[in-house]
């Protein structure tokens, strides 16, 4: 599951980079994101991620990991989507001005995701 800072053109470009990397390196991993992002990237990708529809605990339990591109607000918003029993691990890439809660800079995404998904 990838959550992005809404309607930020720089974040959209970063998501496309991240998505292409994941598709090439880890093709068996399904990626979900918000509908607004699909509308922004539909001309940039041959295969689009699935739209995440938060329809209750069952849909949330399908998510094994959350990746955020944004800042602290994006992390807080994504955590609100999983406020019940199931809260998957969170990998946050800073894409804002502060990012106190963000673990990594986006420039590190390939290295970090290789470490996470190769084990």
| Domain of 103, in residue numbers | 2-117
Whether the Cβ atoms of residue 22 and residue 109 lie closer than 8 Å to each other: no
Domain CATH number, residue 64: 3.40.50.10330
How high does pLDDT run on average in the chain? 83
Number of domains in the chain: 1
pLDDT (tens digit per residue) in 80-103: 887 667 788 899 998 866 667 788
Inter-helix orientation angle 9-25/109-117, to 10°: 40
Task: Kindly report the pTM of this predicted structure.
Answer: 0.85
Q: Counting Cβ atoms within 10 Å, is residue 3 exposed (0-12), middle (13-18) or buried (19+)?
A: buried
Q: Is 27 left (phi over 0), alpha (psi -120 to 50) or beta?
A: alpha
Whether the Cβ atoms of residue 96 and residue 5 lie closer than 8 Å to each other: yes
């Amino acid at each position: 599951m990838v959550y992005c800072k809404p309607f930020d053109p720089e974040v959209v470009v970063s998501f496309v980079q991240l998505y292409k990397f994941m598709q090439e390196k880890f093709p068996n991993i399904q990626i979900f994101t918000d509908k607004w992002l699909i509308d922004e990237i539909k001309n940039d990708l041959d295969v689009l991620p699935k739209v995440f529809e938060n329809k209750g605990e069952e849909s949330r339990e399908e998510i094994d990991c959350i990746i955020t591109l944004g800042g602290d607000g994006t992390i807080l918003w994504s955590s609100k989507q999983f406020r019940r029993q199931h809260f998957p691990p969170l990998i946050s890439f800073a894409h804002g001005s502060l990012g106190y809660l963000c673990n990594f800079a986006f420039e590190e995404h390939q290295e970090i995701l290789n470490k996470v998904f190769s084990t």
